[in-house]
Amino acid sequence: MPRGIVGAAQREDAVAIDATAAADTFPKLLVHNARVRADRPALRHKDLGIWQTWTWADLLDEVRAYAVGLHRLGLKRGDTIAIVGANRPRIYGSVMAAQMLGAVPVPVYADAVADELAYVLAHAEVRFAAVEDQEQVDKIVSVAERLPKLETMVYDELKGLRDYDHAKLRAIDDVIADGRTALANDPKVAEWLDNEIAAGKGSDISIILYTSGTTGQSKGVVLSAKGCIDAARDTVAFDKLTDQDEALAYLPIAWVGDHYLNYAQQLVAGFCTACPEHGETAMQDLREIGPTFYFAPPRTFETMLTRVMIRMEDASFIKRKLFHYFIGVARRYGEAILNGQPVPVQGRLLYRLGQFLVYAPLKNVLGLSRVRVAYTAGEAIGPDLFSFYRSLGMNLKQLYGQTEAFLYVTCQPDGQIYSDTVGPAAPNVDIRIADSGEVLFKSPGMFVGYFKDDAKTKEAMTSDGYVKTGDAGFFDQKTGHLKIIDRAKDVGKLNDGTLFPPKYIENKLKFFPNIREAVAYGDKRDFVAVMLNIDLTAVGSWAERNNVVYGSYQELAGHPLVYDMVARHVEETNRALAADKMTAGAQIRRFLILHKELDADDGELTRTQKVRRGFIAERYDPLIKALYDGSAEADISTEVTFEDGRKGNLSARVKIRDVTTVPTLEKAA
């Protein structure tokens, strides 16, 4: 990306509006940031192993040229433009340039298969698409007949596209160069663009974000500019974010979390967003950047912990003993020290020693040394996993949000952080619990409606304007904070009346590094049974150390020693469930390890890696029946999607194990 720093005179020409007083759209915020913090870093990107930096002045200069270039291709106010790619400056710049023209960006998951892309692009009626590379171009070209309104694609990465037909395909470099030439040759173009920016209103549609589709077909969530900015301003003030902060943007750009944390909050606070070189290098790039503000879904924290545990198993005996001893110290005293609670002198001294020997080096290896505030959301995080990171001294907090809320519904204030709650209502958010137990809310960032679906919009709202979340929850009497039980439709009861919270049980299981995914069943049944995925990295490392030979995931998942190891994890989970009166009767009786990993390409997970429970129940119905009819094994054949889009079938005979449950106090009596 050319940097072309804007001179002082040019910047004055660029700010034909008073962005400080009238920043009710993101382009106005961009202009404001380029004026008041011109030389502060706005974006970083690691390219060919070298970190490149763009200041706010650089960014405004480039986005203006990009917007003019897109307009010369035909993009105009009210048009929709698909944004498909990973976290790269040009992808974020595509969102900014579109909004500068009054067009509406529609981000799409980069790993979406062609059919998913076709659905979103057709439903959103896009005329333009800004994509990252050849892969995205090929996917869109393969479904072009289903996209009659699509006129032009612009791309960031030239590799592989040189010999393509460029009648409707343009390089973003060329689009920006064309815009620069127009701005340089005709002063009226700059004046016109300033007027376009000034014409933007807070009530304008800022973006359309498609839901993950956990319960069915994705819906386009329409968000207004003012709603997005007001919500971001509230939480920027809540967490005291400033232009001195830095974040790593590695989350899918189509997910509301990325658009909120790495776009809306960035433009409001003026901090720097860093883009990793590739998705595969994100954890390495995290260590190099050392962000001060960090967000990760529970799965990322699970992966981090898994890697740590694998490395410790390969460490020397003394290092292993030292690590586990001081992790025990952290569990006893770490959270209390972080929360400012009284701790015995001996405990404080031991914790300080652990900080020097274990905690600080561990956070440094993970890239979390500079983190001032961190959040997790997207799905429920296991209490043990949450406490692990906080015990290391990391200010990890939970938030509860939805795309329809523009993320935040609740968030945890410093000093009031509990693993079993998601905090009180976020600033200026109103929450109430329906008679059915469903959580309802009103918020500054709440959506305008679902795109082209008034019936679904009406269904999602109460008569007095609250949004229905679909989640069951209640306010904890002791803390006043919200507790989310599960999706309202997923919480059930066993035949004996025992409460069955599947997500709670699944999170308990996923705390173990060897278990990557879990799907629990038990509603209207006599007992709880689970289907599991092992973590190939963790279990593969264990297999190497224990001389277990395997040739594939399927072979490793079915190995008797792997079943023995996982059975111990399930039994330990049962002990944890037995300790809670509410879940003691929902202990796991039987389990199996699936012959394949659950995959978003196969429709089993959403693009945000949430389990599509209903779809899985249909696909693996023979296995579920075998779990409950006492069978020791069952045959299954499932369709799989390969990376190149081809489909095939995978067959296996899956073993089923019984596990021991723990007698509860009531039963013992």
> Which domains occur in the chain, in start order?
8-200+239-291 (3.40.50.12780), 296-394 (no CATH), 492-668 (3.30.300.30)
CB 310 within 8 A of CB 535: no
**For the whole model, what pTM was predicted?**
0.83
The count of other CB atoms within 10 Å of the CB of residue 199 is: 13
Grouping H, G, I as helix, E, B as strand and the rest as coil, residue 364 is: helix
Q: What is the mean pLDDT of each run of 10 residues along the chain (669 residues)?
A: 38 40 86 96 93 96 97 96 95 97 96 90 96 94 93 94 91 96 94 95 95 75 96 95 95 93 96 93 92 91 86 87 93 89 91 94 93 87 85 93 93 89 94 90 95 94 93 88 82 87 86 89 93 92 89 92 95 89 88 92 81 88 94 90 76 93 63
- Identify the pLDDT of residue 349: 95
- Identify the pLDDT of residue 213: 65
Establish how many alpha carbons lie within 13 A of residue 555's alpha carbon, considering only the half-sphere containing its beta carbon. 7
DSSP letter assigned to residue 451: T
- Identify the pLDDT of residue 669: 40
- Identify the pLDDT of residue 216: 61
Q: CA 152, CA 171: separation in Å to the nearest integer? A: 11
- Identify the pLDDT of residue 214: 58
Q: CA 235, CA 546: separation in Å to the nearest integer? A: 49
- Identify the pLDDT of residue 13: 38
Q: From residue 220, how far is each of 303, 468, 525, 597 by CA, in Å?
A: 30, 16, 36, 29
- Identify the pLDDT of residue 149: 94
- Identify the pLDDT of residue 604: 86
Consecutive H or E run containing 182: helix 172-185
- Identify the pLDDT of residue 195: 95
- Identify the pLDDT of residue 605: 85
- Identify the pLDDT of residue 3: 38
User: Which residue type is seen at 657?
Assistant: R
- Identify the pLDDT of residue 250: 92
- Identify the pLDDT of residue 644: 62
CA torsion through residues 254, 260, 261, 263, sign: positive
